[in-house]
Amino acid sequence: MSRAVAIAGVGQTKYLRRHAELSGAELVRQAVLRALRDADIDLDAIGLIVGGVAPDALAGVNHIDLSSIVRPGTPYFRVNTGGATGSSALLAATSWLRAGRCDAALVVALERMGHATTSQKVFNSIFDPIYEKDISLSTISMVAMRATMLMQEQGFTVDHWAGLAAKNSKSAQLNDTLDRPRLFTAADVLASPILAWPIHALEACPMSEGACVAVLMAQPLVGKRKVAWIQGAAGLTDTYAMGDRMRRPQGSLVDLHTLIRSAEKAYSQAGITRPAEQIDCVEIQAPFASAEAMAYLALRLCEARSGPRFADTLIAGTARVAVNPSGGPQAANPVSATALIRIAECALQVRGMAGLRQQDGIRRAVATGQGGATQFSTCVVLGSERP
């Protein structure tokens, strides 16, 4: 039987469009010191550091993750699964701890994309250079295309995208990791310029830099600390070509097969059989409203064909489950760190330490990670009770 693992501390820098006063390594150090203090542990007790850093070209520094080594002499490796990088790094560290290879680990995620002046051109370079890159695909146009399929197949409308973006901008106002987050209404979203139909400018996540760090501990070390236990954790991959996933026997592109199966596995480990009743809080790695909506059914927060109605309850503020109380990635989406931030936010909620954005009675929270052209999904269940 493998050992139980918990998140004992988190550290976050502010998430800003650019951190002109701090180098990458300084951002990492700031988040590391906050996380160690939160976990009440010394750096010398850390037996593993996993660096989560996504495409180098966003920072313009090849092997930018070398800034996240933190402590020479400690085992270190890097994980890169695009937008799911932070959560994939946490899954890797969890495996080490469960296997008994160390008792405490740091997961370090750094995003330095403020350096990039042509970020969508950088994102174009993640696509297949033989068949797809020449069609000027970018992450925004990729998400926009999936949104049209959600509208065709599940009945979402442009008003849902605007309403969800406004909902998240309102939640973001209480998040102290952000600096004067944007506040806007659904009407403001619809009045903002179209980036790539159906995405309007205010629906898109802003460029964001920063570092997020989590301290993971195996059960023997936890003691009396107030921790968020990892009750379930799973991640899966899918094929590179989006066109191959359009209509398969297991579902369409927007059914998000990888998240369905990741959630099934994580829920099973956590003993969750009725997700809509047993999960109190969800942080979805969704840089756009349609990406958030794509996860509702995969996470079984709603019934089949009721996604748009579930979105209506979130927009109206009447849903039982809190979805992205931090404001989510639409408020700040530092690509390498964003999936770890979802987990950190869930850990804060479960530990009752989320400050002004704390929700009432959070016993169990679920964080997703989503990366590449939706090649990578992760699902992590955190709870106050030890598994």
Which spans of this chain sit near other proteins (rule: CB under 8 A)? 20-21, 57, 60, 115, 117-118, 120-121, 124, 129-132, 134-138, 140-141, 144-149, 151-152, 193-199, 201, 239-244, 246-248, 253
Shortest Å, Cβ 306 to other proteins? 21
Of the pair 228, 293, the CB lying nearest other proteins is at 293
Shortest Å, Cβ 241 to other proteins? 7
Shortest Å, Cβ 148 to other proteins? 5
First to last CA, the chain: 12
Question: Could you please report the per-residue DSSP string of 298-320?
Answer: HTTSS-TT-HHHHHHHHHHT--S
Shortest Å, Cβ 139 to other proteins? 10
Shortest Å, Cβ 288 to other proteins? 12
Of the pair 208, 349, the CB lying nearest other proteins is at 208
Of the pair 144, 347, the CB lying nearest other proteins is at 144
Task: Give the pair of three-digit tokens for residue 58.
Answer: 């966003």
CA separation for the pair 168, 143 (Å, rounded): 18
* Number of Cα atoms under 13 Å in the Cβ half of residue 206: 20
DSSP state of 217: E
Contact 106, 8 (CB under 8 A): no
Shortest Å, Cβ 137 to other proteins? 7
Q: 247 - beta bridge partners?
A: 252
Shortest Å, Cβ 56 to other proteins? 9
Beta 48-52 vs 104-111: how paired, if at all?
parallel
Of the pair 110, 122, the CB lying nearest other proteins is at 122
Shortest Å, Cβ 285 to other proteins? 21
Reference 160, options 296, 356, 3, 331; nearest CA is: 296
Shortest Å, Cβ 212 to other proteins? 23
Of the pair 295, 346, the CB lying nearest other proteins is at 295
Three-state DSSP class for residue 178: strand
Residue carrying structure tokens 């009407």 = 187
CA separation for the pair 370, 124 (Å, rounded): 18
Of the pair 232, 307, the CB lying nearest other proteins is at 307
Of the pair 74, 192, the CB lying nearest other proteins is at 192
CB atoms within 10 A of CB 308: 18
Of the pair 148, 359, the CB lying nearest other proteins is at 148
Crossing angle of helices 289-298 and 139-154, rounded to 10°? 50
Task: Give the pair of three-digit tokens for residue 294.
Answer: 């794509």
Query: What's the distance, CA 350 to chain centroid?
Result: 16
**Distances from the Cα of 57 to the Cαs of 62, 64, 70, 119, in angstroms?**
7, 9, 21, 9
Of the pair 118, 318, the CB lying nearest other proteins is at 118
Task: Give the pair of three-digit tokens for residue 166.
Answer: 């406004």
